Structure 1
Amino acid sequence: MARFISRLLPRRFRPVRVEIPVVRLHGAIMSGGGQFRPTLSLASVAAVLDKAFADKEAPAVAISINSPGGSPVQSRLIFRRIRDLAEEKNKKVHVFVEDVAASGGYMIAVAGDEIIADPSSIVGSIGVVSASFGFTELIKKIGVERRVYTAGRNKVALDPFQPEKKTDIEHLKSLQLEVHETFIDLVKARRGAKLADDPDLFTGLFWSGTKAQSLGLIDGLGDMRSHLRREYGPKATLKLVQPQRGLLGWRTPPAVGLHNGDALAQAAAGATEGLLSAMEEKALWSRYGL
């Protein structure tokens, strides 16, 4: 209402104030996610990004990133949506790194026209990783027989219940190299001549914010509020844009019209999904000591 009334006043009587929409992109990057443990994906962030960039009076959008990475596809989709909106709405994008912007988190960060981090932030990890477990010895010990029937000789490639095959590993590594090259090309396209000539830059290593600045991975050190006030004046204010929440604080409302049994089954499935997601997310964060 205050903004509406302000617009009715002659320009010379309006308060000199700049309001910057802020979007928080925090968490592991995974497709899907759930009500119990939301994760970052294009589906989960598209609406809040649209809302932030729709503010016609804001000269820019600030994005806070705190992510250890995850899905390369979802990372690139979020990156692309930010750039598309920035170009469509003609707005500058300021990215601020909190604890970590690594791997897919850094891929999203380079959507910013500038990247600011804390000196102790963790930045980088420009690489690709795949991880799993092997259970071949375990099923022998507990007396379990593995039975798999397929049409197509490669349908059980990298099956954790079967011994590894050299051809499967070679195929996986070739896919990783392709994804890695896409990541490298994207970083080079966005950071350009700012990048240092360092042989470790694209090896998957990660650095503190201080070192990341000297490598050209970020533009400066600082915090969001102070930096934006230097950029847009001491009266600049930040407006957090949040996703719409439904009942019980969930990002999406629970399903309605279900019988008790169906609702309990859905809740149990959601809890299981949340536990598995939490385990996967914890593994991503632990790579950076967090």
Structure 2
Amino acid sequence: MAKQKPNQLNQNTPTPKSRWVTIIITLLILTFFAYLFAGITSLFSYTDEPAFGNVALIKIHGIITTQEDGFSLDDQATSDEIIKLIKKAEENPEVKAILFEINSPGGSAVASKEIADEIARVSTNQNKTTIAVIREIGTSGAYWIASSTDLIIASPLSITGSIGVISSYLEFNKLFDKYGINYRRLVAGKYKDIASPFRNLTEEEQKILQTQLDSVHDYFIKEIAKNRNMSVDDVKKVADGLFYLGEEAQKLGLVDLLGDKETAKELLKESLALEDIKIVEYKKPKGFIDALFESFSKQSFSVGEGIGSSLVNSENKKSLIST
């Protein structure tokens, strides 16, 4: 029997580097299937039918939009989904009030108006009490939504107000000049390329855009005045885009009470003459991708939390305070 040569033996023996590559790939595959299994399990264990409760909780978190960005991991509040949840709570005879938990900097003017109009309709026509509780932030479009409820509650440190409209554009023409790039303008319609980043806005175009923004701002002000039973002139005094902390906002008439969800519960218990308040969250039905991302996020957080805890424990003589 012929003996293997030394170089043939070396070729058949895995190197330490190849062993590590194999281990890492195996772990990645196992992790993927673990997340996949967790997502499927979460999906089948989830029901979009809310449990029994006499107060519906609807969260308005993140940027307010008309439709969801499917690839975003950030919180989003889409008008279509929020309105569906409001209608579902409206149709439930057991629900006596709807509590809106707001933690949003605002977003689309159209989406904000759609949600605000739906809240006002339910509050007026269905005899259901609506309360907004502003957490960390409820500004601009989010405040517009809050203003349509029967009552606004905010923490003394909540950021609210910011009644204004913003638009922006970029100009690349100087950068193009630097690199010898020319912009050839071919349009059918004088203002078709208004706000194009490839050329400067003319003075006339700036006035046109500013007029449009002012129109939206005026509409915003009138809606706040109507919703809050304030005069247009009083709203204009605080409609310069500035934000206010909850305590100051209360003094200005933008917020009714200082407190939190517990404050809302006690208020509802008394005003609706209920023996007990049971809050049940109404939320968007969870799809497979949502379940998978949620599982991935939770697992990733757990890993990060474990690493962080180890680091903190190793520095247990130090005191870390955050606000």
Q: Secondary structure at the match of 1:40?
A: strand
Q: How many residues align?
A: 235
Match of 1:244 in 2: 285
For residues 160-179 of structure 1, the aligned pairs below 5 Å read 160-179=197-216
Q: Secondary structure at the match of 2:64?
A: coil
Match of 2:116 in 1: 79
Q: Secondary structure at the match of 2:77?
A: coil
Provide TM-score, normalisation by structure 1.
Answer: 0.75
User: How far, CA to CA, are the matches of 1:81 and 1:191 in structure 2?
Assistant: 16
Question: Aligned AA for 1:249?
Answer: D
1:33-77 CA-to-partner distances (Å, cap 9, x unmatched) read: 322226333223221221122221121100011111121111111
Q: 1:218 aligns with which of 250, 255, 266?
A: 255
Q: Secondary structure at the match of 1:29?
A: strand
User: How far, CA to CA, are the matches of 1:198 and 1:244 in structure 2?
Assistant: 38
More helix by share: 2
Larger radius of gyration: 2
User: How far, CA to CA, are the matches of 2:87 and 2:200 in structure 1?
Assistant: 47
Contact 1:196/1:214, CA 8 A, preserved across alignment: no
Match of 1:60 in 2: 97
Q: CA deviation at 1:129?
A: 1.1
For residues 204-215 of structure 1, the aligned pairs below 5 Å read 204-215=241-252
What's the Cα RMSD here?
Answer: 2.3
Q: CA deviation at 1:227?
A: 2.5
Bigger drift between 209-218 and 186-195 goes to 186-195
Contact 1:23/1:52, CA 8 A, preserved across alignment: no
- Per the alignment, do residues 165 and 80 of structure 1 end up closer, same or farther by CA in structure 2, a change over 3 Å counting? same
Q: CA deviation at 1:235?
A: 2.7
Q: CA deviation at 1:207?
A: 0.4
Q: Quick one: percent identity of the two aligned structures?
A: 30
Q: Which runs of 5+ in 2 are unaligned?
A: 1-51, 293-323
For residues 1-290 of structure 1, the aligned pairs below 5 Å read 19-37=54-72, 39-193=76-230, 197=234, 200-232=237-269, 235-249=276-290
User: How far, CA to CA, are the matches of 2:245 and 2:211 in structure 1?
Assistant: 30
Q: Secondary structure at the match of 1:239?
A: strand
- Per the alignment, do residues 198 and 112 of structure 1 end up closer, same or farther by CA in structure 2, a change over 3 Å counting? closer
User: How far, CA to CA, are the matches of 1:161 and 1:175 in structure 2?
Assistant: 22
User: How far, CA to CA, are the matches of 2:68 and 2:205 in structure 1?
Assistant: 29
User: How far, CA to CA, are the matches of 1:213 and 1:33 in structure 2?
Assistant: 33
User: How far, CA to CA, are the matches of 1:24 and 1:172 in structure 2?
Assistant: 34
Question: Aligned AA for 1:90?
Answer: N
User: How far, CA to CA, are the matches of 2:207 and 2:233 in structure 1?
Assistant: 31
Q: CA deviation at 1:131?
A: 1.4
- Per the alignment, do residues 194 and 146 of structure 1 end up closer, same or farther by CA in structure 2, a change over 3 Å counting? closer
Question: Aligned AA for 1:235?
Answer: D
Question: Aligned AA for 1:139?
Answer: F
User: How far, CA to CA, are the matches of 2:98 and 2:276 in structure 1?
Assistant: 16
Bigger drift between 97-106 and 48-57 goes to 48-57
Which structure 1 residue ranges, 4+ long, deviate > 4 Å from structure 2?
Answer: 193-199
Question: Aligned AA for 1:43?
Answer: D
Question: Aligned AA for 1:47?
Answer: K
Provide TM-score, normalisation by structure 2.
Answer: 0.67
User: How far, CA to CA, are the matches of 1:145 and 1:30 in structure 2?
Assistant: 36
Q: Which runs of 5+ in 1 are unaligned?
A: 1-16, 252-290
User: How far, CA to CA, are the matches of 1:126 and 1:91 in structure 2?
Assistant: 27
